[in-house]
Amino acid sequence: MLKKDLILRNPLRVMGYENDDILGSGQFGAVLARAGVGKTAFLVQLSLNALLRGKNVLHISLEDPVNKVTLWYKEVFNLIAEQYQVEQINQLWEALLPHRFIMTFRAEGFSVPTLEERLADLMEQNIFTPQMIIVDGLPFDGSVHKSLSEFKDLVKKHQMHAWFTIRTHRHQDPGPEGQPLQLEQVSDLFEIAIQLLPEGKEIHVKAVKGGESFAEDLDLRLDPSTMLLKRQ
């Protein structure tokens, strides 16, 4: 009941998370924002929602060590539990942990073949088989398209989907299509893209790619004090 209650109250239902994942098998989603605006917190909430529904999530960090990523999850989970006054949170937390696996790389040492090798080790030994992958900290520079294409082939092959953080810059104009430049060079590979935009005392969650119905339904904010999602 605890899991069901949290899922029903979760603002992510606005994004299509009521019954199924917003991303299908083999698809990519992106969360774009400037440094420090809340990309990691947003993805951790996406991950926690998947974990509550019994999905296996592989969280790949190219910036932070395992203990820092673990702390992110624990802090966000405790804030959500406090917000909804959930009791027995320790039992629920322990029940989620077998569904999450954290993997870290140095950004310069990350490659899809290396990831595929480590994934194969986990899956062939029945240690962990992810259904959703989160990649936090991948540099979206001029050479990223080839790696992302290989990554897309990987998630299609294993019937997974993946979310990425993309760092934007404050004083950079959008590209010709109106999207942030970091996304435009790889936009063909992404089905969904969400941008976090600070406006006054709120952080608005804006759909920049994903279809008209998705954009119209998306009416979320991040609370700057907790980085938790809330409805308008």
Question: What is residue 69's predicted lDDT score, i.e. its pLDDT?
Answer: 96
The pLDDT of residue 137 is above 90: yes
Question: What is residue 19's predicted lDDT score, i.e. its pLDDT?
Answer: 47
Q: In the predicted model, what is the mean pLDDT of residues 102-112?
A: 90
Q: In the predicted model, what is the mean pLDDT of residues 84-88?
A: 75
Domains held by the chain: number: 1
**Residue 140 maps to a domain:** yes
**Residue 28 maps to a domain:** no
Q: In the predicted model, what is the mean pLDDT of residues 168-188?
A: 76
**Residue 193 maps to a domain:** yes
* CATH code, domain carrying 157: 3.40.50.300
**Residue 104 maps to a domain:** yes
**Residue 22 maps to a domain:** no
pTM of the model: 0.90
**Residue 27 maps to a domain:** no
Between CA 107 and CA 63 the distance in angstroms is 7
Q: Which domain holds residue 80?
A: 2-16+38-231
Q: Count CB-CB contacts under 10 A for residue 187.
A: 16
**Residue 26 maps to a domain:** no
Burial of 97 (0-12, 13-18, 19+ CB in 10 A): exposed
Q: What is the pLDDT of residues 25-76, one digit of tens each?
A: 999 999 999 988 889 999 999 999 899 889 999 999 999 999 999 999 999 9
Q: In the predicted model, what is the mean pLDDT of residues 92-106?
A: 94
Choose the weakest-confidence range: 82-86, 132-136, 149-153, 190-194: 82-86
Q: What is the pLDDT of residues 10-36, one digit of tens each?
A: 656 556 555 456 889 999 999 999 988
**Residue 29 maps to a domain:** no
